Amino acid sequence: MNRSITIFSGRSNPSFTSAICEQLGVELGRCEIIRFSDGELSVDIGDNVRGRDVFIVQSTSTPGNDHLMELLIMIDALKRASAWRITAVMPYFGYARQDRKLKPRVPITAKLVANLLTVAGAHRILTMDLHAGQIMGFFDIPVDNLMALPIMYPYLHEKYGSDNITIVSPDMGGMERARLFATRLGNTGIALIDKRRVKHNEVAGMRVVGEVKDNVCIIVDDMVDTGGTLIKAAETLLDEGAKGVVAACVHPVLSANAIERLEESVIEEVVVTDTIATTAPKKGKKFKVLSVAPLFAEAINKIHNDDSVSSLFA
């Protein structure tokens, strides 16, 4: 049976959803999100979705709690409206940093969010560059975790080449991402930032493991939040003799005054994607935003047609 596809957007990044719809040549589904006087949210789906293959595009970025609740309510509404399949398209998966217990009596909130999405009625998750790949195992439904590498690599290669380049991972958890980047850039060198945290978002000290002298260092990470760790890493690399530092971070969380701090830092350029709506290009000259909407559009098309998505992972 040739089922129709319908795409809905939450309020986290509607322009991103519109770009996906434009790529696919489909109209954006009608959905009104209502906030009552006491702060509660409700959803009014304006299209018939019975028997349809439905995709909801919503990053759980700031305000994360509102956007997550919005997504859950939309999933429930579509399930009750007899949608055939519901795929939650989450370009940025919030709460992903709370993926394990580092001390007693703390939650594993990434697992809780996975449970909420599944119980609400999602049949599948499509996301990008999870903070930890193991989060896919928190779900009992299929998860496709795309990578921004195919979008970021051409830009970085064209601008910086592959000679005298070192790919830098800001921590041990990012070494696999760094290796993939290094391989695509022509087996360039890899370095690691060994950091010691005193508390969340505050680093006590850093040292570089690897050769960076006289090279342009490209720090690759899944996200940039306050920018503090990224700036300190860049300063450490320059102290070790690096010729310059570029940051390539998929998700521009950019909390507090991160944009201003990064603009004033020693980092030459900050390359991010549009998984999260950001005002960075308007506020500063160091930011380059690359769109991953075409990649998500291709993934949605493959899922809808029951084709393999594996070709999009690297």
**Residues catalogued as catalytic:** 195
How does strand 31-35 pair with strand 41-45? Answer: antiparallel
What one-letter code names the amino acid at 69? M
What one-letter code names the amino acid at 282? K
Do the beta carbons of residue 242 and residue 213 sit within 8 Å? Answer: yes
Do the beta carbons of residue 136 and residue 159 sit within 8 Å? Answer: no
**Residue ranges with strand state E in the chain:** 5-9, 31-35, 41-45, 53-57, 85-90, 124-128, 143-146, 165-169, 189-199, 202-209, 216-224, 244-252, 269-273, 287-290
Coil, strand or helix: which one is 55? strand
Q: Across-strand partners of 251?
A: 223
Q: Residue 181 phi/psi, 5° resolution?
A: -60, -45
The tokens describing 132, both together, are 């930890």
Q: CA-CA-CA-CA torsion for 195, 192, 221, 135, nearest 10 degrees?
A: -80
